[in-house]
């Protein structure tokens, strides 16, 4: 039983040492805190087992129930860091995946800050190009009408370059002039919009390039990676469960051994010592009561009766 408690403390020290090493990245600090934690668990288990009394019957099991619950909690705390070490080779690739997911999420959030501005520039650029296309289409229609008037395929149906043609040709020339003016103004504005978009995209690319991929190597990240692995793999889930059950069995075994074992010399000696203490307590209380009663002999009967009743009730 003592060896079981000792090795439970050793497992606790190893588990705490590894968990703290992932936090501080210092062998010295992890070793010191691991030893302190192992000694604390060892002392707690020793107290749990040594404080249990062999009275016989089912009463012992009810008395041991809170201690069993505490032992289960301790075993889960001890098992978790060791699980992270046992499954380290499986956890490390999952950490890389988690890092990439975080980086992608950060990049998406950064790009979303520029999306509205870039979309606004693209929308205005498309509108300007649409104005040019609509004006060009109107110009082409007027040129076609003038050409049809000249060759007799449309309009008055007379092949000549008369006054009707000249009017239609003037409308086409006017549309051409307006198209050139519109193209000049819109292309200048489009060039400004393109320059602004390139500046914004360059700023966005610089911010993305300056982003650092967060290194996920802490205990919380490793536990999350283990949870993801166990959720996606039944083999990992069963292996994780068996490890936890193993440590629960190790941690609770001293308590159950104590429950199922019979009374031994330790229990008898402990009962004798406790009886000695109880006997001394009764003797000292009786002597104290006797001394008080003797000193109160000179008091009136009512006060003596009151003192006697109180002292006698204390001995019940």
How far apart, in Å, are the Cα atoms of 1 and each of 39, 245, 250, 261?
17, 19, 11, 11
Q: Is residue 258 part of a domain?
A: yes
Domain boundary among 246, 262, 278: 262
- Which of 166, 193, 210 marks a domain boundary? 210
**With 80 as the cut, is the pLDDT of residue 128 above it?**
yes
Give domain status of residue 95, yes or no: no
One domain, residues 192 and 223: no
pTM above 0.75, yes or no: no
What are the respective helix, strand and coil percentages of the chain, to the nearest 5? 85, 0, 15
Domain tally for the chain? 3
Residue 240 lies in a domain: yes
Q: Are residues 202 and 113 in the same domain?
A: yes
Give the C-alpha separation, 242 to 230, whole Å.
12
Domain termination site, one of 210, 244, 277: 210
pLDDT tens, position by position, 24-42 = 778 888 899 889 988 988 8
Indicate if 179 and 111 belong to the same structural domain: yes
Same domain assignment for residues 28 and 176: no
* Whole-number Å distance between alpha carbons of 101 and 238: 27
57-66, 98-107, 148-157, 258-267, range with the lowest pLDDT: 148-157
Q: What is the pLDDT of residues 173-222, one digit of tens each?
A: 888 888 888 889 888 888 988 898 888 888 888 887 777 666 777 778 88
* Shared-domain flag, residues 197 and 232: no
**Is residue 206 located within the same domain as residue 123?**
yes
Is residue 227 located within the same domain as residue 276? no
**Mean pLDDT of the 113-130 span:** 87
pLDDT in tens, 133-163: 988 888 888 778 777 766 656 555 555 556 6
Q: How far, in Å, CA of 112 to CA of 178, rounded?
A: 39
Report if residue 149 sits inside a domain. Answer: yes
More confidently predicted of 246 and 258? 246
The answer to whether 91 and 222 are in contact (CB under 8 A) is yes
Instruction: Report pLDDT for 315.
Output: 67
Both 130 and 64 in one domain: the answer is: no
* 21 in any annotated domain: yes
Find out whether 64 and 52 touch, Cβ atoms under 8 Å. yes
For position 38, what pLDDT does the model report? 87
Q: Are residues 172 and 236 in the same domain?
A: no
Range of the domain at 308: 269-314
Task: List all residues 6 or more positions away from 4 whose beta carbon is below 8 Å from its beta carbon.
Answer: 250, 253, 254, 257
Mean pLDDT of 219-237: 86
Q: Is residue 121 part of a domain?
A: yes
Contact 250, 4 (CB under 8 A): yes
- Predicted local distance difference test score (pLDDT) of residue 236: 86
Mean pLDDT score of the chain, rounded to an integer?
80
- Higher pLDDT residue, 72 or 36? 36
In a domain, 48, yes or no: yes
Determine the pLDDT at residue 150: 66
Q: Are 258 and 83 in contact (CB under 8 A)?
A: no
Tell me: do 197 and 127 sit in the same domain: yes
Residue 97 lies in a domain: no
């Amino acid at each position: 039983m003592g060896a079981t408690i000792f090795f439970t403390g050793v497992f606790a020290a190893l588990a705490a040492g590894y968990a703290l090493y992932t936090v501080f990245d210092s062998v010295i600090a992890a070793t010191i805190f691991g030893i302190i934690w192992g000694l604390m668990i060892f002392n707690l288990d020793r107290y749990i087992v040594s404080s249990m009394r062999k009275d016989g019957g089912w009463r012992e099991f009810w008395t041991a129930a809170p201690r069993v619950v505490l032992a289960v909690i301790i075993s889960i705390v001890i098992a978790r860091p060791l699980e992270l070490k046992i499954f380290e080779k499986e956890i490390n690739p999952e950490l890389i995946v988690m890092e990439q997911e975080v980086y992608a999420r950060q990049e998406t959030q950064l790009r979303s800050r520029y999306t509205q501005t870039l979309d606004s520039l693209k929308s205005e650029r498309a509108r300007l190009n649409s104005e040019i296309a609509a004006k060009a289409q109107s110009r082409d229609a007027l040129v076609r009408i003038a050409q049809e008037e000249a060759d007799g395929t449309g309009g008055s149906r007379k092949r000549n370059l008369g006054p009707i043609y000249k009017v239609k040709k003037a409308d086409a020339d006017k549309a051409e002039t307006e198209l050139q003016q519109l193209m000049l103004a819109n292309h200048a504005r489009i060039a400004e919009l393109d320059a602004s978009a390139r500046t914004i995209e360059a700023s966005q690319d610089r911010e993305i390039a300056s982003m650092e991929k967060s290194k996920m190597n802490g205990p919380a990240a490793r536990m999350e990676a283990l949870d993801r692995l166990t959720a996606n793999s039944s083999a990992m889930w069963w292996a994780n469960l068996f490890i936890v059950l193993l440590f629960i069995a190790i941690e609770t075994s001293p308590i159950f051994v104590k429950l199922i074992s019979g009374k031994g010399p330790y229990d008898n000696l402990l009962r004798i010592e406790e009886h000695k203490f109880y006997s001394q307590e009764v003797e000292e209380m009786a002597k104290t009561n006797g001394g008080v009663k003797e000193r109160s002999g000179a008091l009136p009967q009512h006060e003596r009766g009151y003192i006697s009743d109180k002292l006698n009730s204390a001995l019940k």
